[in-house]
Amino acid sequence: MKQTYETGLAGEETAEQYLAEQGMICLKRRYRNKCGEIDLIMQDKDTTVFVEVKTRRKAGPGQGLMAVNSKKQSRIAKAATLYLMTEKKLNAVVRFDIVEVRTDSVIHIPNAFQPACGMFFH
């Protein structure tokens, strides 16, 4: 468990650095509320980006991306909605990205999914 946790933290740091190099600004790390957890909340110009990070050391490319199933997407979307309500940003333009961190690469999928839980997002 400890090794998995530390691997996840290292992956999140790598993802944050990668996204910062792409011009994004980190607003929150490891944001948690009663609905769930969001690994990174970034600002990409006028868009608030909710980022799920998957770190994979041994699995084939894309395995981390496929781990973000509809149930996980729903939890992220609900946590994002509560964040937007709390921060009074309900009219914000938002996006949901997935970043897979591998030993030899970073795979970034912008706009990886759209919430399917009936919420309105621009």
- Higher per-residue confidence, 98 vs 62: 98
Domain membership flag for residue 16: yes
pLDDT confidence band for 103 (50 / 70 / 90): confident
Residue 6 lies in a domain: yes
CA–CA distance, 8 with 83 (Å, rounded to integer): 22
Three-state SS at 42: strand
Q: Give a yes or no: residue 17 inside a domain.
A: yes
Instruction: Tell me if 81 sits within 8 A of 35, measured CB to CB.
Output: yes
For residues 91-95, average pLDDT: 94
User: In the prediction, which pLDDT does 122 show?
Assistant: 40
Residue 118 lies in a domain: no
- Tell me if 41 is assigned to some domain: yes
Q: What CATH number is given to the structural domain containing 82? A: 3.40.1350.10
Within-domain flag for 20: yes
Count of structural domains, the chain: 1
Sorting pLDDT into bands at 50, 70 and 90, what band is 2? low
pLDDT-derived band at 116, boundaries 50, 70, 90: low
Q: Which domain holds residue 97?
A: 2-109
| Among candidate residues 46, 96, 54, the one with its CA nearest the CA of residue 75 | 96
In the structure, what pLDDT confidence band is assigned to residue 31 with cuts at 50, 70 and 90?
Answer: very high
Give mean pLDDT, residues 26-36: 95
Residue 60 resides in a domain: yes
What percentage of the chain exceeds 70 in pLDDT? 84
Domain contains 31: yes
Q: DSSP per residue over 54-86, as a string?
A: EEESSSPTTHHHHT--HHHHHHHHHHHHHHHHH
